[in-house]
Amino acid sequence: MEFETKCLHSGFDPYEFKDNPALPPIYQNTSFLFDSPEHAANLFALKDEGQIYTRIGNTTVSVLEERVARLEEGSGAVAVSSGQAAITLAILGLAGQGDEVIASSYLYGGTYTLFRYTLPRFGIKVKFVDINDLSALKDAINDKTRAIYGEVIGNPSLIPMDIEAIAKVAHSYGIALVVDNTFATPFLVQPIKWGADVIVHSMTKYLSGHGTSIGGIIVESGNFDWKGSGRYPSLIQPDPAYHNLNFWETFGNTAYTNRVRLSLLRDIGPALSPMNAYLILLGIETLHLRMERHSENAKIVAEFLESRDDVSKVFYPGLKSSPYFELAKKYFYRGLFSGMVCFSLKQGRPAGEAFIKNLPLFYHLANVGDARSLVIHPASTTHQQLTLEQLEAAGIDEGFIRLSIGIESIEDIVTAIEKALVSI
């Protein structure tokens, strides 16, 4: 099936359910009945397929997992309660005490905090580098490195990753490349085709698309040789926490996602609500339509902002004047560059705060990817924990504004932005 058709049909066959429902039913239950003691034992021993407990798996959630896995062209997926949970479990599935991770300098503030402060409490050291600088990337790799992590489009700098080049470096050392594809979505960028091994999403954003549901997902490419790498003993050795199960021998190209589910999701417990899974599935049905409008509107906004004297810089990889245009064009194969636009005001933080106060139409909140247009001033909110030096390293300043351009009339969007700029 083509992408647009997958958005509506992947992972769900009405005739596999009682009464042939036209949409995936909401299995709003904690547990699933066993046919017999033998059936129960076989489910727990993984000899039979089926559901046991919603913390580990749920029928509605399973439809969502299969749909997103197919959209990303992956071998399997695990849905969890939030994007942050997805990132955390994705890393814990690869690294443990004494291991290291290399992360892009251009990260969402919450991800930076997770990597900078929380993961070290688990004994995982994180090195931050400009991962597009392949020389710096290679210098950061050592025998303890277990993952290289980046965002397809950095949040909020909107600097694109050179996925193919970074993947080649990672694989030459037997290291898995983990990519956050939240801002681009699989409709615009297909990271697995360029060598990514694990993909994470905050499904709260574009996949859901309507600001109704928090959720995250981890997708495995199915292409990485976990055994041949030699860096991931938890995937190729007997796991005493699960009857000495060898995930690689048992599951093959879904070894990683099965370990995340059967070990980390089981023990830590950030399960996705079946109701949220249902709502996200509804959002995905129109993903392809929304991303086209988001992208078309965002390009017009970026061009408008570029023409303004009170704007010092516009961050949008789809502008021909962007130093990242050719790189973005390589990966954004449809010629659409998502709905995120960022810019810096010449007058700094006071101008940024005044812009927010005087901007109509846009919702001022900490989210992106909604059908509605959204705005935030990162230096005072999502990135307020960073020093001026750290803000600069992340590619932003105190006059920086992040816009998530919605699917409203472009005339109304531009009029609202112009009104706020004039008010400053």
Closest listed residue to residue 274, CA positions, set 64, 101, 27, 105: 27
Give the amino acid at 352.
Answer: G
Instruction: At 141, give phi and psi (nearest 5°).
Output: -80, 140
The pLDDT assigned to 391 comes to 74
Within 8 A by CB and 6+ apart from 103, the residues are 111, 115, 126, 127, 128, 129, 131, 148, 149, 150
Give the pLDDT confidence score for residue 53 in this predicted structure.
96
Q: Check pLDDT > 80 for residue 263.
A: yes
CATH number, span 288-423: 3.90.1150.10
Mean of the pLDDT values across residues 40-52?
93
Domain 3-282 has CATH 3.90.1150.10: no
- Per-residue pLDDT, 367: 93
State residue 397's pLDDT score: 86
Domain boundaries, the chain: 3-282, 288-423
Range 253-260 average pLDDT: 98
68-118 pLDDT tens trace: 999 999 999 999 999 999 999 999 999 999 999 999 999 988 899 999 999
State yes or no: pLDDT of 315 exceeds 80. Answer: yes
Does the pLDDT value for residue 390 go beyond 80? no
| Closest by CA position to 198, among listed 315, 58, 92, 61 | 92
39 pLDDT exceeds 90? yes
Confidence (pTM): 0.96
Burial class (CB in 10 A: 0-12, 13-18, 19+), 8: middle
Residue 62's pLDDT band (cuts 50, 70, 90): very high
Query: What number is the average pLDDT over the span 250-265?
Result: 97
